[in-house]
Structure 1
Amino acid sequence: MAAVKSEYREGNGFIAEIIRTERRKTADIRVEEGAVSVVVPTNLALSRIDELLKTKRTWIKEKIALHREAQPASEKQFVSGEAFSYLGRNYRLKVEEGAFQPVRLLKGRLVVTVPKGKDQPHMIRNALIRWYKRQAEQKLREKVERYAPIVGVEPTDVRIKTFKSRWGSCTVKGRLEFNWRVMMAPNRCVDYVVVHELCHLKRHDHSVAFWKEVGRVMPDYGVNKDWLKHNEPSLGGW
């Protein structure tokens, strides 16, 4: 068993996700896409984690600042009322102020609780990314398990990644990797991406034979392929 549960700590300008796992003997701080996570041994005390975050605060803030500078300008302001797409349907964001709570999908709204302050939009953005990644982890694994027997393959693993210009990939070792942003597309388009990568376990090219295999499993793949091509710029460009 890997991660057993997640907790969150406020770090004076950022939120750190605490991931407890039996695989770690020491703590490891990561700043990915501007989001802070600390992977720690299962029984490490919160006081030790807080001390570590305090010691590394300058380094963490520098990493976050570098990420922000590298990001293209976003039209999103991360305020209540803004729409965010999930499996092709728009959900309105509802921001509540208080001690941090991760995003929850409640009564048709994406609800997040964050402290008030100048860093609030950044915290909300990272909370949303974490939520999308969690959904991707669950939904995409379910879809792989459903379609793999139909395609007739057995992937070695499923990973969630951040890609700039692709929805998924298939490694030579049989691992499937998916872009978490695909969760903003309609459900059938997500199915297409899964089928596409599973078919690459049979053929590592885009030959006529490859597309024939995709079509065998999903006859309407062309519609979904075209939708993704034309709507890619609007999916998660924030």
Structure 2
Amino acid sequence: MSIEVKPDGSVLAVAPIDAPEHEIRWKVEKSGAWILRQQRELAQLPPPLPERQYVSGESWRYLGRQHRLRVIIGTQEGVRVTRGELLVTAKTPERAENVLNSWFRNRAQSLLAERMSVCLERASHYGIEHSGDFALRQMRTQWGSCTKVGKLNFNPRLVQAPKECIDYVILHELCHLREFNHSAAYYRLLGRVLPDWKKRRERLNRLVELPQ
């Protein structure tokens, strides 16, 4: 059986069809403290912002800094960062979205690999070991995830956040290798690994919105 707290605060419990109702109720009640904690964290997130546009004049972040988007029509598609602007060259205006998202993904792959190395060094002092392998996955409600077998996934939009916030997300997921939940023991571990994790999380949520 699994329990999930959705972005709107509602709780979804998934159980085998033959599971007794009293067992389902017991597990949900046993997880009450964790559910309330997740609901409080979700309530602190800022409301979703209007969807970003892929047109000249729109504002996009890269590594925490605001950049003005400028779309240029040309045959050599690509993105260049210069003087507070993201210069997107696309063959047609409609191609700007694909060009920018592809560039964000490529930068995320490179940057996350760099920060993963730094975070693994820090985590190793607390008995956390990992190969450093990860995958990029577009997620609507998460910056990262960790499976029970230790597979790490990260949202490519993380490249829009400052490096200190990227490190927070990586270390948050690495700590799940030791504590695969959001229990009190997990947060004690995260607090030892990254004492200022709350400030970093608040800054991440304030600066960068998850894609809608």
TM range (shorter): 0.5 to 0.7
Is the CA contact 2:141–2:210 (under 8 Å) kept in the aligned structure 1?
no
Of structures 1 and 2, the one with the larger relative CO (CA 8 A, separation 6+) is: 2
State how 1:158-177 maps to structure 2 within 5 Å.
158-177=134-153
Is the CA contact 1:155–1:176 (under 8 Å) kept in the aligned structure 2?
no
Describe the superposition over 1:138-177 as per-residue Cα deviations: whole angstroms up to 9, x where unpaired.
Answer: 1111111111132121136211110111110112232211
Q: Match of 2:116?
A: 144
Give the Å deviation of 1:74: 5.8
Instruction: Measure the CA separation in 1 of the matches of 2:182 and 2:196.
Output: 17
Describe the superposition over 1:164-195 as per-residue Cα deviations: whole angstroms up to 9, x where unpaired.
Answer: 11110112232211011122223221111011
SS at match of 2:89: strand
SS at match of 1:84: strand
SS at match of 2:79: strand
Describe the superposition over 1:93-138 as per-residue Cα deviations: whole angstroms up to 9, x where unpaired.
Answer: 122112141212234321121224xxx2x31111111111111101
Is the CA contact 1:155–1:201 (under 8 Å) kept in the aligned structure 2?
no
Is the CA contact 1:214–1:221 (under 8 Å) kept in the aligned structure 2?
yes
Q: Match of 1:69?
A: none
Structure 1 gap segments, 5+ residues each: 1-72
State the one-letter code of the partner of 1:180. Answer: P
Instruction: Measure the CA separation in 2 of the matches of 1:156 and 1:228.
Output: 22
Structure number having the greater strand percentage:
1
TM-score by length of 2: 0.67
Alignment length (residue pairs): 160
Describe the superposition over 1:205-238 as per-residue Cα deviations: whole angstroms up to 9, x where unpaired.
Answer: 1122211221112111011223344566x3444x
Identity of aligned residues (%): 37
Instruction: Measure the CA separation in 1 of the matches of 2:60 and 2:203.
Output: 18
SS at match of 2:118: helix
Q: Give the alignment's Cα RMSD to 1 decimal.
A: 2.2
Instruction: Measure the CA separation in 2 of the matches of 1:74 and 1:98.
Output: 28
Is the CA contact 2:79–2:103 (under 8 Å) kept in the aligned structure 1?
yes
State how 1:72-221 maps to structure 2 within 5 Å.
75-116=51-92, 120=93, 122-152=94-124, 153-155=129-131, 157-221=133-197
Instruction: Measure the CA separation in 2 of the matches of 1:75 and 1:200.
Output: 31
Instruction: Measure the CA separation in 2 of the matches of 1:168 and 1:77.
Output: 24
SS at match of 2:134: strand
Structure 2 gap segments, 5+ residues each: 1-48
Instruction: Measure the CA separation in 2 of the matches of 1:77 and 1:222.
Output: 30
Is the CA contact 2:165–2:200 (under 8 Å) kept in the aligned structure 1?
yes
Is the CA contact 1:169–1:197 (under 8 Å) kept in the aligned structure 2?
yes
